[in-house]
């Protein structure tokens, strides 16, 4: 059952999303998972490319609450 109000990450992209963040001692260019997801969404939109999620990550990064996107002003990108 899908969680409502949360943005999910594809299992095959989970490691990349984690590597792109600077949290937990990482050295990636983004501060949060939400930042990575919005960048990926904007890049996909620019190139008119959509990729189905397929299998969803069950561990890190777990589904990201929509509030994290709204607080950062990203709600126009994900809606």
pTM (two decimals): 0.84
30 vs 76: which has the higher pLDDT: 30
Please count the structural domains in the chain: 1
Tens digit of each residue's pLDDT (9 = 90 or more) over 12-27 = 999 999 999 987 777 8
Note whether residue 72 is domain-resident. Answer: yes
- For residue 62, give its domain range: 6-78
Contact 77, 17 (CB under 8 A): no
pLDDT at 66 over 80: yes
DSSP tag of 58: S
**Is 1 inside any structural domain?**
no
Closest to 64 (Cα-Cα) out of 19, 34, 32, 21: 34
Mean of per-residue pLDDT scores for the chain: 89
pLDDT band at 1 (very low <50, low <70, confident <90, very high): very low
User: Do the domain assignments include residue 52?
Assistant: yes
């Amino acid at each position: 059952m899908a969680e409502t109000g949360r943005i999910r990450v594809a299992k095959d992209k989970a490691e990349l999303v984690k590597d792109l963040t600077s949290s937990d001692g990482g050295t990636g260019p983004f501060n949060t998972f939400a930042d990575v997801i919005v960048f990926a969404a904007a890049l996909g939109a620019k190139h008119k490319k959509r990729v189905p999620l397929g299998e969803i990550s069950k561990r890190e990064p777990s589904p990201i609450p929509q509030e994290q996107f709204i607080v950062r002003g990203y709600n126009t990108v994900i809606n």
